[in-house]
Amino acid sequence: MAGFVLFAERVDWHTRSLLAALKARGAKAKVVSLKSCGFAVGETAHGLLLPGFAEDLPEACFVRSVPAGTLEQVTLRLGVLHALRELGVRVMNDARAIERCVDKSATTFLLARAGLPTPRTLVLEARETAQMLVDAAPGDSVLKPLFGAQGRGLARLAPKAPVPEAEEVGGVYYLQDFVRAPQRAGIGMHEDFRVFVVGGRAQAAMARRSSSWITNIHQGAIGAPVPAEGQVADLAVRAAAAVGAAYAGVDLIADAEGRLMVLEVNSMPAWRGLFDATGRNMAEPLMAHLVGETVAA
């Protein structure tokens, strides 16, 4: 074994924090782009191309990002992560968890299968059927991109509102009942929760508050610290386990009666907004888990 790998596209605040947390533990890591990796069957002992490793394998890998690309490019990059796991290398998060979380329909299915409360969700390809479902919904519907992040591409549709053409949504309609949360954060404010889970423990949590129903920090919401305990923590930990994620950013929301539901599980979450809200840098528990330390909540 020849040290650790951080799969990342740039050395930004997150990557620098991860490297510093490793250094504090007497460990080092190479920052590698998955774009530069591949297969070398019959050429290297392990059959992979890993810059900086030659015939060696890393001790463990942390996946900060999988770069976008063509279907073929993304398949290759995830294939490398699959291969590392098959070779016995611990990968955070491994390709299975990433694939399950990138595909929101798979996430929702696994959450429901694990008995976790989540909004009613319908995913299909036929536009005419999607229109009928929107029109027959008990309230507004939220149309989400099947592959999407940071609150981009969301649309809230009232019954009878026209659904977009198929080419505008990648040919797939992911429809979820809009959850009308109680107005706890002030007049006209919407609120949901982000919980960061590492190694089966809830490490930190924040409420995200916005005048818009889209409460993502990247869309202008404000984060406020909340205790990472009780039902918020329990549901988040169970949600991460349902998709097989060693670490995750779990989004939850309370309905009008105050019942918590899981909205999404993010397998490569950023945590700068969480750090700004709570003062806790998730690089510490993340790297502790990577090197095999027991991670305390």
Q: Please give the full DSSP string across 212-245, using - where no structure is assigned.
A: SS---GGGT-EEEEE-S-HHHHHHHHHHHHHHT-
Whether 130 and 173 have beta carbons less than 8 Å apart is answered as: yes
Closest alpha carbon to 59 in 268, 244, 292, 247? 292
**What does the alpha-carbon distance between residue 9 and residue 70 come to, in Å, rounded to a whole number?**
17
- The reply to whether 210 and 173 lie within a common domain is no
- The reply to whether 60 and 141 lie within a common domain is no
**Last residue in a domain, options 177, 192, 213:** 177
| Residue 81 falls inside a structural domain | yes
| Residue 227 falls inside a structural domain | yes
Residue-wise pLDDT for 214-269, tens only, equals: 667 776 778 899 999 999 999 999 999 999 999 999 999 998 888 999 999 999 99
| Residue 45 falls inside a structural domain | yes
Structural domain including 9 reads: 4-92
Q: Indicate the SS3 state at residue 11.
A: coil
**Last residue in a domain, options 92, 107, 129:** 92
Tokens, residue 208? 């995200």
The mean pLDDT value for 187-200 works out to 87
| Residue 116 falls inside a structural domain | no
- The reply to whether 156 and 73 lie within a common domain is no
- The reply to whether 160 and 145 lie within a common domain is yes
pLDDT for the residue 83? 98
Beta bridge partners of 193: 207, 252
**What does the alpha-carbon distance between residue 126 and residue 215 come to, in Å, rounded to a whole number?**
29
Residue-wise pLDDT for 97-143, tens only, equals: 999 999 999 999 999 999 999 999 999 999 999 999 999 998 999 99
pLDDT for the residue 147? 78
- The reply to whether 128 and 73 lie within a common domain is no
- Rounded to whole angstroms, the maximal C-alpha distance in the chain is 65
Residue-wise pLDDT for 149-191, tens only, equals: 655 678 899 999 999 999 999 999 999 999 887 665 555 678 8
For position 144, which CATH number holds?
3.30.1490
| Residue 115 falls inside a structural domain | no
- The reply to whether 200 and 142 lie within a common domain is no
pLDDT for the residue 154? 81
- The reply to whether 164 and 214 lie within a common domain is no
pLDDT for the residue 217? 75
Q: What number of other Cβ atoms are within 10 A of residue 187's Cβ?
A: 6
Q: What number of other Cβ atoms are within 10 A of residue 75's Cβ?
A: 11
- The reply to whether 196 and 282 lie within a common domain is yes
**Last residue in a domain, options 142, 177, 212:** 177
Q: What percent of the chain has a predicted confidence (pLDDT) above 90?
A: 78
**What does the alpha-carbon distance between residue 274 and residue 281 come to, in Å, rounded to a whole number?**
8
- The reply to whether 77 and 138 lie within a common domain is no
- The reply to whether 207 and 164 lie within a common domain is no
Whether 66 and 7 have beta carbons less than 8 Å apart is answered as: yes
**What does the alpha-carbon distance between residue 266 and residue 284 come to, in Å, rounded to a whole number?**
19
For position 222, which CATH number holds?
3.30.470.20
| Residue 82 falls inside a structural domain | yes
Q: What percent of the chain has a predicted confidence (pLDDT) above 70?
A: 94
- The reply to whether 235 and 202 lie within a common domain is yes
Q: What is the mean pLDDT of the chain?
A: 91
- The reply to whether 66 and 138 lie within a common domain is no
For position 43, which CATH number holds?
3.40.50.20
| Residue 110 falls inside a structural domain | no
pLDDT at 31 over 70: yes
| Residue 126 falls inside a structural domain | yes
Structural domains in the chain (count): 3
pLDDT for the residue 20? 97
